[in-house]
Structure 1
Amino acid sequence: GELLEPRRQRLQEWWVQVGLLAMPLLAAYLHIPPPQLFPALHSWKSSGKFFIYKGLHSVGVVGSLEIVVLLLHCFPTSSYDWYKIWGGLTLRFHHVIALDFLGFGFSDKPRPIVEALLRHLGLQNHRISLLSHDYGDIAAQELLYRYKQNRSGRLTIKSLCIFPETHRPLLLQKLLKDGGLTPVFGPYTRPSESELWDMWAGIRSNDRNLVIDSLLQYINQRKKFRRRWVGALVSVTIPIHFIYGPLDPINPYPEFLELYKKTLPRSTMSILDEHISHYPQLEDPMGFLNAYMGFINS
């Protein structure tokens, strides 16, 4: 007891010192201004418009060119994920819509937000083709469920194209905390320094980096509502297509592909080059566009 007590006291003093040092660092971090936007991201933000959803701002970007393509982005990024294929989509489709989910990108800190945006744009009567990635798959599956249950109002879903939801969420959390976004890109298709900075700028916007742990609750929702959402995917009769990068560390080949084929045997799929990973629309925009257009045209 006499030997342990001084050691315990020293340990307590050490933690107090760590706490005192950490407080000013945390205060300084909280007051760091958001990073400056590179021209491409600034242009993307400027081309979008805000709309109000239950008192919160969300961002929507709308193409100028008779089908509506609705783009649902990944975690933890934003609608900017689609900028490399935006031109190709707007040349083909009359309406292309990309939104930042609440808490992402330039939006304030949800699923009904998607239907609210379509009503806001006057497109609720159109036939919708969903193109979703990872986190966006949750919104897509909920929309499918509501469509199947006749709860989506006048919203009609024509087709769904997905690329992987998170098969190993704990790995995703570890990659984000330890290595940033770089490990989820292929070794030959990793973003440039300016592109990584723009991704960070989107994450840092409106201090969303401070609530990243609460946004990760979608992983728990995925477990809780798995039967509802997977059931919606399995039971709908609309065409479903899957675009896959075989080098995706979160959804590893071939295990994930085998699971997907077993779950959705009627779905068609496109497998991209072997070096493409978790962000195929950024890593191989032309290959991705060709795969998506092939699905739509078929």
Structure 2
Amino acid sequence: MREWWIQVGLLTVPLIAVYLHIPPPHISPTLNSWKTAGAFFTFKGNHIFYRDSLGAVGSSDVVILLHGFPTSSYDWYKIWDRLDQRFSRVIALDFLGFGFSDKPEKLPVLFLCCRIGAVFGPYTQPTDGEFWDMWTGIRINDGHLVMDSILQYINQRLKHRDRWVGALTTTTVPLHLIYGPLDPVNPHPQFITMYQ
């Protein structure tokens, strides 16, 4: 009888090969509409997707929206129009390695691997179509092939914590943090109180 690890290998290798070569899912009409309304800029040779719209007349407030992990700027699609009515300019981007942005092999970016439904509250769970759009965002530009690089987020959180928190606490720009209280990776309550 063969060793157990040989049997596991015989099953695993074909599954990995299939996973690496599955074509990306088709972009839904909603996700395609999001992409069509955006554009790209180039940063250090990488194409970064963003949305930028002029909104409310008479307001001078600009809001820059940063998406969560492992998602994209598409996180904001449900409230984009309402933000447009409140702010003079609304900007969102896909971080390098996410959404429609480039996904180079070596990424100094963030990623979180967990049950994605756990980061949403009980009344804001994504629909099956929205989960599919999130997966599509990961798969675009072969993002599933760079997961090992973007998983470095776990180590970067510890390594760069003082620098990141320091930047947040010393900024003179008005800052608001939005987080889900049930999100298993949300900031520690003591951290949040610094910004209230």
Same fold (TM over 0.5): yes
- In the superposition, the TM-score normalised over structure 2's length comes to 0.82
Q: How far apart, CA to CA, are the structure 2 residues paired with 1:59 and 1:210?
A: 19
The equivalent of 2:77 in structure 1 is: 83
The equivalent of 2:167 in structure 1 is: 232
- Cα 1:235/1:25, change in 2 over 3 Å: closer
The equivalent of 1:257 in structure 2 is: 189
Q: How far apart, CA to CA, are the structure 2 residues paired with 1:53 and 1:15?
A: 44
- Unpaired runs of 5+ residues, structure 2, are 104-109
Kindly state the Cα deviation for residue 223 of structure 1 after the two structures are TM-superposed: 1.4
Question: 1:43 aligned to 2:37?
Answer: no
- Cα 1:233/1:107, change in 2 over 3 Å: closer
Match of 2:139 among 199, 204, 219: 204
Match of 1:58 among 48, 51, 60: 48
Q: Could you report, residue by residue, the CA deviation over 1:47-73 in whole angstroms, capped at 9, with x for unpaired residues?
A: 111222222211111113334321111
Match of 1:32 among 22, 27, 37: 22
What RMSD, in angstroms, separates the aligned Cα atoms of the two structures? Answer: 2.4
Kindly state the Cα deviation for residue 186 of structure 1 after the two structures are TM-superposed: 1.8
Kindly state the Cα deviation for residue 259 of structure 1 after the two structures are TM-superposed: 4.6
Kindly state the Cα deviation for residue 33 of structure 1 after the two structures are TM-superposed: 0.9
The equivalent of 1:184 in structure 2 is: 119
Kindly state the Cα deviation for residue 237 of structure 1 after the two structures are TM-superposed: 4.4
The equivalent of 1:281 in structure 2 is: none
Query: What fraction of aligned residue pairs are identical, expressed as a percent?
Result: 60
The equivalent of 1:71 in structure 2 is: 65
The equivalent of 1:279 in structure 2 is: none
Q: Could you report, residue by residue, the CA deviation over 1:119-154 in whole angstroms, capped at 9, with x for unpaired residues?
A: xxxxxxxxxxxxxxxx6xxxxxxxxxxxxxxxxxxx
- In the superposition, the TM-score normalised over structure 1's length comes to 0.56
Q: How far apart, CA to CA, are the structure 1 residues paired with 2:121 and 2:99?
A: 23
Q: How far apart, CA to CA, are the structure 1 residues paired with 2:179 and 2:66?
A: 16
* Bigger Rg over Cα: 1
**What letter is aligned with 1:249?**
P
